[in-house]
Amino acid sequence: MNRISKTFFSLLVLHLLGAAEKGYTQPSISGISFDNDHILISAKLNQEFKWTQAKFISIKSFPADPPWAPNTHHELWLGGNDENTVDWFQHDYVEAGTFKVIDPSKVEVNFLGNRKIAGNLNLDNYILKFDSLDYQTYLKTPDIWVEKSTDLINWTIVKISDPLPKEYSISEGLNLKIMKGKSDQEYYRVRMVE
């Protein structure tokens, strides 16, 4: 078995072991690929969803003013300035208000002027339906690191090649790039601090 095959097999075993554990709150590896001297790891962070820590960006984009500027997206922030405040950016203005969580998948927003809009979150793909638009859910990227081991007992931290984004899409996870190790057989895992 060549070096790439052994590395791939090691990552696959760790992925399968991590996926089998119910309630596992550490990241799980959802995909692996190789690029010259790098290993590209796709990780699902398994972070707990909290309405007050989420940012929602509309999937649909809208023309900007002036016309030569890039298209914009609507953005919805819950709990930004205060635990129950909401800010909704649309094109070139912001509406403010308060919100109330009805249940894990439903929120009610009250904007100034007594206008109410209900938002429904699909907990399978974390798409929020709000005011007839679909919004992708983003969370703040926690502290993440990748560890490697040759024996599954002793682990050392591996440097991530590219800087981590400030936020990530909860449904898509995070892509991490690390240098390939020098050993014929290495195991990798992704860890985080919340």
Domains and their CATH numbers in the chain: 3-47+142-193 (no CATH), 51-140 (2.40.128)
Give the pLDDT confidence score for residue 16 in this predicted structure: 45
Reading the block at residue 11, the tokens are 């990552």
| pLDDT per residue as tens digits for the range 123-179 | 999 999 999 999 999 999 999 999 999 899 999 999 999 999 999 999 888 999 998
**Cut 0.85: pTM above it:** no
CB 61 within 8 A of CB 74: no
Q: Could you check whether the bond before residue 70 is cis, i.e. omega within 30 degrees of 0? A: no
1-9 mean pLDDT: 52
Q: In DSSP terms, which residues pair with 85 in a beta bridge?
A: 98
Helices (H) and strands (E) in the chain, counts: 1, 15
Residue 5 binned pLDDT confidence (cut-offs 50, 70, 90): low
**Ramachandran sector of residue 91 (left: φ over 0; alpha: ψ -120 to 50; beta: rest):** left
- C-alpha 178/C-alpha 175 separation (Å) is 10
- 116 secondary structure, DSSP code: E
| pLDDT per residue as tens digits for the range 75-127 | 999 986 677 889 999 877 899 999 999 999 999 999 988 899 999 999 999 99
Contacts 24+ apart (CB under 8 A), 161-168: 161/38, 165/141, 166/140, 166/141, 167/55, 167/138, 167/139, 167/140, 167/141, 168/45, 168/138, 168/139, 168/141
Give the pLDDT confidence score for residue 165 in this predicted structure: 93
If we measure between CA atoms, which residue out of 115, 117, 96 comes closest to residue 106? 117
- Residues 6 or more apart from 42 whose CB is under 8 A from it? 29, 30, 31, 32, 173, 174, 175, 176
Share of the chain above pLDDT 90, in %: 46
Give the pLDDT confidence score for residue 18 in this predicted structure: 46
CB 107 within 8 A of CB 99: yes
